Amino acid sequence: MLIESLDPGPEHALPGELLTEITELYASNREFFALSGDFPDPDAITTEQVAAALADDLSQPGAEAFLARSGGRVVALALTMAHHPDPADPDPWLGLLLVDSRAHRSGHGRAAARAVEDHFRARGRTALRLAVLENNPKAQAFWTALGYAEIDRRKDRDLGRDCRVMRKEL
């Protein structure tokens, strides 16, 4: 699997073909987006919605995006923040790890998570945090299996959803 940094440029615009691939990745995860409420209709996620969501995510200070490719196609996307907006929070955050649903349970999620951890470890960071929706037990099990432990429960910043904050020492 090849991991690459996604650099959409100053306007956060992606080339059309890549945006189409990423939209297909989002659309393949209907179950997650039905739980999250991130899109009005999880059965009809559009390129415009994905472009707007990515532009919003990447406009945050210290935000980065990474793509994982296998067999020449995008199989995962990771969105990270070098610093949480809360200055009392010292750790970087993994805001989203999305794996093509047709490739679930094939190791792509684990490999992408390891790549993100390695990215921050190489920059001298000592831990990584993420938030898992309370109503997503599959994600909770995935992250627990990767060594993340729950450290808090709180509402997310954007939509006020119940989440479990998880952390892993790097």
Give tens-digit pLDDT for 16-70.
888 999 999 999 999 999 999 999 999 999 999 999 999 889 888 899 999 999 9
Q: Which two tokens stand for residue 52?
A: 């707007």
Which candidate, 78, 47, 74, places its Cα nearest to that of 63?
78
The whole-number pLDDT of residue 13 equals 67
Q: CB neighbours (10 Å) of residue 1?
A: 14
Q: For residue 109, which of 130, 85, 135, 134 has the smallest C-alpha distance?
A: 130
The pLDDT of residue 12: 59
* Strand runs labelled E in the chain: 2-6, 63-70, 73-81, 93-99, 127-133, 149-155, 162-169
Residue 60 burial (10 A CB sphere; 0-12, 13-18, 19+): middle
Rounded to the nearest 10°, the torsion over CA 120, 124, 129, 130 is: -10
Residue 86 vs residue 109, higher pLDDT: 109
Tokens coding 87 = 């200055």
2-169: what CATH class? Answer: alpha beta
Q: Report pTM.
A: 0.92
User: What is the residue extent of each domain of the chain?
Assistant: 2-169
Both structure tokens of 62: 């210290």
Query: 70: buried, middle or exposed (CB in 10 Å: 19+, 13-18, 0-12)?
Result: middle
